[in-house]
């Protein structure tokens, strides 16, 4: 049975599924049933219009291309649940269609269009989607649940681990406590931990025990101040304060006396009272960490003492110290250094050298050059500053070098040796005087002896006694000089002893100086209390008087009379030797009794060693008396000495 065209059209039109026919290259909508128009949201006016015109919103969606593809290939296209966005009631909506594009051929087999059979599956798709969504949610929820489960499991695991960890921590704690104990034991310091509540020692290492000199059982687990009672008075209040304030107490070189192994010892200790706080922040213990620094402190004290001694020595010797930097030329001197040069503070080397005696100006450079080899500097130079007497300065220094052997600096001392130089000069002069003094009688003695030798062949009885006398006088002179020299050396060595006895002063003075009396050059006049008895070394006192009389003879040759006086006054007796000679200038008087001093400007005119009065002064002072002189130029000289009389009653 062949169906009528209209019946066919009626079937198509009545189909609940959209059916439409597109024809030609322009894709004209040749036919669209009611279901199609409903699905498209359009009316019958779209029939006869090109596809894109009928459904302008379809532009850009894959349908046009799919239609052309089917027309070009002749192969049908099937789509399931394909999305199409269509404008329905003025609103762009999303729809889903399951459809087929099938090629339509004419009788000669040429493709002239495409027929589309479609089903609107929007609802289906949406339900599926919502089911899907629900499913997803369910899945998600499941996943979440799973995650929660996992998390729970993990938490359980964690709990287990935490438990394990706790056990481990406890073990570690034990371990760390052990380590802490070990640490304390092995620490290079003395450590002792004291509990706050009862001051009991909870931890103490051997070094601490050693430091306080106590056995373990007297400290460990015992109250600290029972263990070290000697430190309680000074340190228990301090420890108490640490407990209360929570602030550490630090002591350096604390000096205390510890009873170490039963005997007291003075020690110096560096230590800390370190508060140990518990979890709540309150001080639960004090950790004492200490180190015995006694050795260090004692060594330092010893060094300080040596330094102090050196400082005192430097001060006493009035030594100036200085440092010269070779690189910068900077010279830094002590206060005494500046004082010696008298050129103000911060004087430089060149200025100092400018003030040297011209003959000594080269000595500094020379000494520094020498020091390049020896590392030591030693020289003495004369220093002249206007308005001041010449000074002799002695420089002694040590030179320091760097690794390359270049001089870096000099540390040295400078000393004013003017007095020493003067004494040295005096000594040199004395030696030449002494030689000269000895030479005169020696020459005479030699001549006398030569004369005697010659006389042996042909004795001349007249000359003989004269020559013997001359030889004898020369011999006496030599003996006298040698005696003086011996006396001085005895005085220097402190070997002069006194042999005291009672004797009559008048008698002694009467008998002394026989040689003067016999020579007749001077008259000796004795005055005063001639019956006075004294307790002294008669020989030495005689030596003093002879010396004074000899001087009067020597230095007052024209004074015919020399007065010897005895005058008792109170507790002493004054013995004087007075002449009417030339007298002595006032400026010389204070030095007359010094060693080697000779007031006579003409020097060699009157012989002498400058020792006589020095020896006299020593003898008198040894007796507890005083020696002195009253003199004025042109008025003669009155030399006197006293002897204490209270000694006489001994």
Report d(CA 565, CA 552) in Å as an integer.
Answer: 14
Residue pair 258/212 in contact (Cβ under 8 Å)? The answer is yes
C-beta of 190 vs 617, nearer to ligand ADP: 617
Of 528 and 581, the one with the shorter C-beta distance to ligand ADP is 581
Binding window for ligand ADP (CB under 6 A); candidates: 80-88, 284-292, 533-541, 548-556: 548-556
Contact (CB, 8 A) for 616 and 627: yes
Return the residue of 119, 364, 572, 637 that touches ligand ADP, per CB under 6 A: 637
Measured CA to CA in angstroms, residue 456 lies from 451, 452, 460, 462, 481 at distances of 9, 6, 9, 14, 30
Q: With binding defined as CB under 6 A, does residue 71 bind ligand ADP?
A: no
Q: Does 638 bind ligand ADP (CB under 6 A)?
A: no
Burial track 388-398 (b if 16+ CB lie within 10 A, e otherwise): eeebbbbbebe
How many residues sit close enough to ligand ADP to count as binding (CB under 6 A)?
A: 20
Among 613, 620, 627, 643, binds ligand ADP (CB under 6 A): 613
583: left (phi over 0), alpha (psi -120 to 50) or beta: left
| Cβ proximity to ligand ADP, 547 vs 572, nearer residue | 547
Task: Indicate whether 612 belongs to the interface with ligand ADP (CB under 6 A).
Answer: yes
Q: Which of 579, 618, 619, 642 binds ligand ADP (CB under 6 A)?
A: 579
- When the beta carbons of 32 and 609 are compared against ligand ADP, the nearer one is 609
Least distance CB 643 / ligand ADP (angstroms)? 20
535 binds ligand ADP (CB under 6 A): no
Q: Is 581 in the site for ligand ADP (CB under 6 A)?
A: yes
Q: Is the Cβ of residue 72 or residue 606 nearer to ligand ADP in the bound state?
A: 606
555: contact with ligand ADP by CB under 6 A: yes
Assigned token pair, 119: 């089903």
Separation of alpha carbons 624 and 642, rounded Å: 8
Nearest residue (CB) to ligand ADP, 63 versus 614: 614
Using CB under 6 A, pick the residue from 556, 566, 619, 620 that binds ligand ADP: 556
Which one of the spans 186-194, 214-222, 411-419, 576-584 is the region binding ligand ADP (CB under 6 A)? 576-584
Check binding of 552 to ligand ADP (CB under 6 A).
yes
What DSSP designation does 632 have? -
Helical segments of 355-403, H only: 363-374
Partnered with residue 410 across adjacent β-strands are 324, 399
* Alpha carbon distance 27, 52 (integer Å): 8
CB-closest chain residue to ligand ADP: 608
Establish if 608 lies at the interface with ligand ADP (CB under 6 A): yes
Which of 444, 599, 630, 645 forms a contact with ligand ADP (CB under 6 A)?
599
Phi then psi for residue 529, to 5 deg, are -80, 85
Note whether 19 binds ligand ADP by CB under 6 A.
no
Using rule CB under 6 A, residue 441 touches ligand ADP: no
CA–CA separation, 177 and 77 (whole Å): 84
Exposure string for 518-531, b = 16+ CB within 10 A, e = fewer: eeeebebeeebeee
Q: CA–CA separation, 410 vs 173, rounded Å? A: 62
Show the beta-strand stretches assigned E in 8-72.
19-23, 28-32
Nearest distance in Å: CB 480, ligand ADP: 10
* Residue 617 interacting with ligand ADP (CB under 6 A): no
Dist. CA 35–CA 30, nearest whole Å: 15
Binding site for ligand ADP (CB under 6 A): 551-552, 555-556, 579, 581, 584, 592, 597-600, 608-614, 637
């Amino acid at each position: 049975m062949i169906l009528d065209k209209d019946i066919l059209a009626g079937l198509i039109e009545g189909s609940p599924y959209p059916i439409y026919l597109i024809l030609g290259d322009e894709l004209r909508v040749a036919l669209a049933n009611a279901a199609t128009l409903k699905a498209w949201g359009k009316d019958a006016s779209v029939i006869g219009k090109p596809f894109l015109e009928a459904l302008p919103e379809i532009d850009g969606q894959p349908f046009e291309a799919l239609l052309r593809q089917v027309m070009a290939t002749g192969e049908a296209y099937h789509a399931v649940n394909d999305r199409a966005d269509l404008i329905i009631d003025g609103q762009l909506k999303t729809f889903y269609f399951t459809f087929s594009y099938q090629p339509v051929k004419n009788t000669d087999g040429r493709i002239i269009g495409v027929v589309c059979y479609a089903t609107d599956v929007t609802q289906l798709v949406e339900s599926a989607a919502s089911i899907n969504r629900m499913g997803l949610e369910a899945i998600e929820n499941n996943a979440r649940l799973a995650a929660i489960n996992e998390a729970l499991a993990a938490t359980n695991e964690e709990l287990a681990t935490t438990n394990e960890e706790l056990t481990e921590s406890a073990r570690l704690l034990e371990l760390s406590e052990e380590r802490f104990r070990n640490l304390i034991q092995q620490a290079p310091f003395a450590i002792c931990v004291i509990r706050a509540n009862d001051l009991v020692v909870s931890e103490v290492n051997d070094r601490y025990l050693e430091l306080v000199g106590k056995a373990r059982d007297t400290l460990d687990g015992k109250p600290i101040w029972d263990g070290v009672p000697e430190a309680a008075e000074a340190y228990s209040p301090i420890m108490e304060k640490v407990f209360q304030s929570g602030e550490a107490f630090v002591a350096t070189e604390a000096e205390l006396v510890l009873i170490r192994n039963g005997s007291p010892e003075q020690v110096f200790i560096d230590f800390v009272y370190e508060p140990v706080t518990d979890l709540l922040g309150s001080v639960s213990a004090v950790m004492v960490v200490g180190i015995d620094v006694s050795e260090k402190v004692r060594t330092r004290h010893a060094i300080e003492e040596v330094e102090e001694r050196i400082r005192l020595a430097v001060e006493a010797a009035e030594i100036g110290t200085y440092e010269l930097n070779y690189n910068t030329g900077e010279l830094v001197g002590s206060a005494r250094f500046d004082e010696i040069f008298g050129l103000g503070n911060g004087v430089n080397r060149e200025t100092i050298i400018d003030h040297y005696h011209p003959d000594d100006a080269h000595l500094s450079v020379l000494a520094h050059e020498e020091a390049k080899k020896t590392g030591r500097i030693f020289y003495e130079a004369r220093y002249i500053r206007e308005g001041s007497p010449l000074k002799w300065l002695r420089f002694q220094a040590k030179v320091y070098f760097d690794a390359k052997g270049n001089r870096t600096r000099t540390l040295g001392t400078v000393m004013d040796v003017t007095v020493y130089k003067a004494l040295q000069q005096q000594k040199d002069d004395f030696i030449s005087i002494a030689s000269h003094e000895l030479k005169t009688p020696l020459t005479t003695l030699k001549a006398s002896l030569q004369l005697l030798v010659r006389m042996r062949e042909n004795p001349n009885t007249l000359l003989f006694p004269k020559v013997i006398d001359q030889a004898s006088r020369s011999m006496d002179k030599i003996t006298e000089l040698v005696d003086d020299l011996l006396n001085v050396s005895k005085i220097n060595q402190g070997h002069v002893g006194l042999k005291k006895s009672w004797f009559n002063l008048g008698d002694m003075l009467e008998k002394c100086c026989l040689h003067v009396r016999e020579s007749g050059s001077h008259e000796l006049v004795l005055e005063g209390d001639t019956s006075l008895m004294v307790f002294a070394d008669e020989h030495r006192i005689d030596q003093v008087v002879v010396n004074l009389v000899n001087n009067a003879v020597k230095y007052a040759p024209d004074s015919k009379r020399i007065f010897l006086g005895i005058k008792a006054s109170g507790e002493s007796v004054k013995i004087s030797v007075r002449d009417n000679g030339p007298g002595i200038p006032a400026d010389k008087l204070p030095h007359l009794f010094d060693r080697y001093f000779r007031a006579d400007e003409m020097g060699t005119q009157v012989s002498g060693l400058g020792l006589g009065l020095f020896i006299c002064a020593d003898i008198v002072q040894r007796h507890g008396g005083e020696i002195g002189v009253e003199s004025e130029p042109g008025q003669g000289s009155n030399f006197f000495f006293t002897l204490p009389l209270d000694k006489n009653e001994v």
